[in-house]
Chain A
């Protein structure tokens, strides 16, 4: 079995790269911390460098973990969407879920400024938490609408188009709000759309981690269903799988993962659509038992990579993560896909 050897080699390589990039991501930053010191701080032996310890534990480690979780979640979402809709361009952002999150955030910033949020703020809930909640609510609202519509739509391609239109509509409403809002409000909104991996530790990372891990486990359980869906709805149905139930579960799972990630990190594009293609080409398989873990590794790697690239300018200048992903990721993916030359076989 030549193929399975290749699979193991790639998995080992990706896992190794993940560790390397994770450590590099922790070491790189405006404050230079040497590797031996960093290791001893992380292992709890070094108690002398309190500032370094704070930087590592409060900023860099949570940020690296956020990259890992968000990357995995978004890639797995993209994989599920592409299989469900049998469309290489499908990704969570195409279903209007990200747009819904954006609208939620926009409306929140608007109401915050009108005084409603400020009172809530006095209750001691952090504004960033509120933004996360607003984004999740927005994503959930669009998703619920999509789910209701999907009850009446048999064809998945039609559903995809409906999702695209919902996204456009949501973006238009957001645009309308932007047009009438004040510069300070716009500033806050735009900085959210740039995306950020900095969750600054604590409960936010816990929420992100537990939601992502739950969603990913759910995805692994969906592997069998997704594999059956590769043959189309009729064959899947004949294999004892209800296409309608499968669709609902997959959409639910996607919304959970995308909603949570978008809420905390902003609308991070590109990873969801690109990583599954790269993994499919790399492993030359459509088998979701392999693609699921591959996308987890690949997505984590991609976001870690982008986070490193975002810090390239140096001198304390850090590019927004969303710009880094597109700036560096798009050419990289074009190159990989052209080189692999077997993408056409996937759809």
Chain B
């Protein structure tokens, strides 16, 4: 278990101190996937660097398996906790295999020779992250997602109970993000994992536990849903309760634009739902049902292709796509 006690994190250079967050008390639950959320500049990276011993604490203490981080040797730490950071990896004549094998450094002899069990662990890690086929590939030839997997494989090869990752989902496409978090989730059967991320929606859906850090450097922890219910997520990730995180749906909403005009929409099905979204996006006030002012749109889902009818006073216009419908709506008769 990783435990913070009255922890103050920040930077100290000569006599200048810059405190990032203070008075932190929390624990990293064992065998779980914990997501560290917080806005830019809130200190997510600083916290991860502090917890992994790369940066000294300003005051307070971090306990790793009941022993203070500062009293553990670097080598001891390297066998208990591994990291995946945001910084780019260079020296990229390294192959994926060589990169992952570097994770064995804490376990190999002085010369760094890989013995049988080391090789086995490297292959196991490549396998667990699904990159065995890439093992001879050079790092420079990897996509961002593949490189991130290779870095996780390196962390796995290090054979530590704790893995801390700083924004592993940055630069990945949306499916890549989900696959990566899913991979982390599956690893928690034997590991305890903390990852920081800006992907609030995904974290709330996939993490077991959330650490939420705000601009003032206070940390709230709990199950994702609890943090939503007590309004903590909404406080940080929405602007004036108007846009941003939506407590009802758990989605991220965007600010609406206001254009003159309202309309009513009739219909049902997928085409109907997306017509509503399109009207909302382009700034129409939508009344569902009939009998109100403004034009009426009828969505008909007959056959394979949906059709739209725009009824404006006495004229009826037909549209074959939402774009066509929007064009008709915006053109004054």
Contacts and interface: CB of A to CB of B under 8 A. Distances in A.
Interface of A: 1-3, 83, 86, 220-221, 223-224, 227-228, 230-232, 234-235, 237-242, 280, 284-287, 289, 342, 345-347
Contacts of B111: 220-221, 223-224, 289
A282 to B, nearest CB: 11
A59 B93 CA distance: 41
B177 interface: no
A286 B39 CA distance: 37
A3 B87 contact: no
A228 B105 contact: yes
A226 to B, nearest CB: 10
A238 B52 contact: yes
B105 A241 contact: yes
Instruction: Summarize B's interface: helix, strand, loop or mixed.
Output: loop
A289 B92 CA distance: 15
A5 to B, nearest CB: 12
A57 B63 CA distance: 66
Interface of B: 49, 52-54, 74-75, 77-79, 81-83, 85, 87, 89-95, 98-99, 102-103, 105-106, 108, 110-112, 136, 138, 140, 158
Given A86-B91, A238-B52, 17 more contacts: A220-B111, A224-B108, A234-B83, A235-B102, A237-B54, A238-B82, A239-B78, A239-B105, A240-B79, A241-B105, A280-B93, A285-B94, A285-B95, A286-B94, A289-B111, A346-B90, A347-B90
B242 to A, nearest CB: 40
A241 B108 contact: no
Contacts of B105: 224, 227-228, 239-241
B297 to A, nearest CB: 56
8 contacts: A3-B136, A221-B111, A230-B89, A234-B83, A238-B77, A240-B77, A286-B92, A286-B93
Contacts of A286: 91-94, 98
> For A2, A220, A280, A285, which residue has the most chain B Cβ atoms within 10 angstroms?
A285
Contacts of A239: 78, 102-103, 105-106, 158
A153 to B, nearest CB: 12
A324 to B, nearest CB: 30
Contacts of B78: 238-240
Contacts of A86: 90-91
A223 B79 CA distance: 20
A225 to B, nearest CB: 9
B91 A230 contact: yes
Given A228-B105, A284-B93, A240 B74 contact: yes
B75 to A, nearest CB: 4
A230 B138 CA distance: 14
* Ranked 7 nearest A-B pairs via Cβ: A224-B112, A240-B78, A230-B91, A286-B93, A240-B75, A239-B105, A286-B91
A239 B54 CA distance: 11
B161 to A, nearest CB: 14
A285 B98 contact: yes
B87 A240 contact: no
> For A83, A228, A242, A345, which residue has the most chain B Cβ atoms within 10 angstroms?
A345
B93 A346 contact: yes
